[in-house]
Amino acid sequence: MSERHEGNGRRHRGQLSLSIAEAGIGVVLVLAVAMGFAYDLPEPDTRHAQLETYAEDAVTVLAGEPPRHRGATRLAEVARSPETFERERDALERRVDRILPDNLMYRVETPHGAVGFPRPAGVAVGEATVTTVGGDVTVRVWYV
């Protein structure tokens, strides 16, 4: 800033107009926002977390349902023996179809067999396992 002298000995400083300073700050702010949109950051991949949630929800629902014939839960019934698995296979598959959204495929694995679809390679998969008296039952889900 420059200083100048007046005839009476006082000094005056040249000042930048307040409206020019505000305009400059506004331009910088607008440019910062525009750059934020121009350099769009990639969104985090939430698909895996969502698939895990779907698998856990399916296991929770199935583990809490009463058995159709005998056992502590529906999952305990299908994991008890090869005979009970074969008897309950179709009912288990229908039930899992109703629990999960239409845009998901699944596989439910028990010690005596599995229902659902073969898991393709290279896709994100959510998984949840519950332990029953007859062994572990695992639900895997993935997007179609």
pLDDT at residue 104 in the model: 95
22 pLDDT band, cuts 50/70/90, is confident
User: pLDDT tens digits, residue range 56-75?
Assistant: 999 999 988 887 776 678 88
Q: Kindly report whether the global pTM for this prediction surpasses the value 0.75.
A: no
User: pLDDT tens digits, residue range 96-112?
Assistant: 999 999 999 999 999 99
Mean pLDDT estimate for the chain = 85
Can you list the domains of the chain with their CATH numbers? 2-38 (no CATH), 46-143 (3.30.450)
Which H, E and C letters describe the chain, residue by residue?
Answer: CCEEECCCCCEEECCCCHHHHHHHHHHHHHHHHHHHHHCCCCCCCCHHHHHHHHHHHHHHHHHHCCCCCCCCCHHHHHHHCHHHHHHHHHHHHHHHHHHCCCCEEEEEEECCEEEECCCCCCCCCEEEEEEECCEEEEEEEEEC
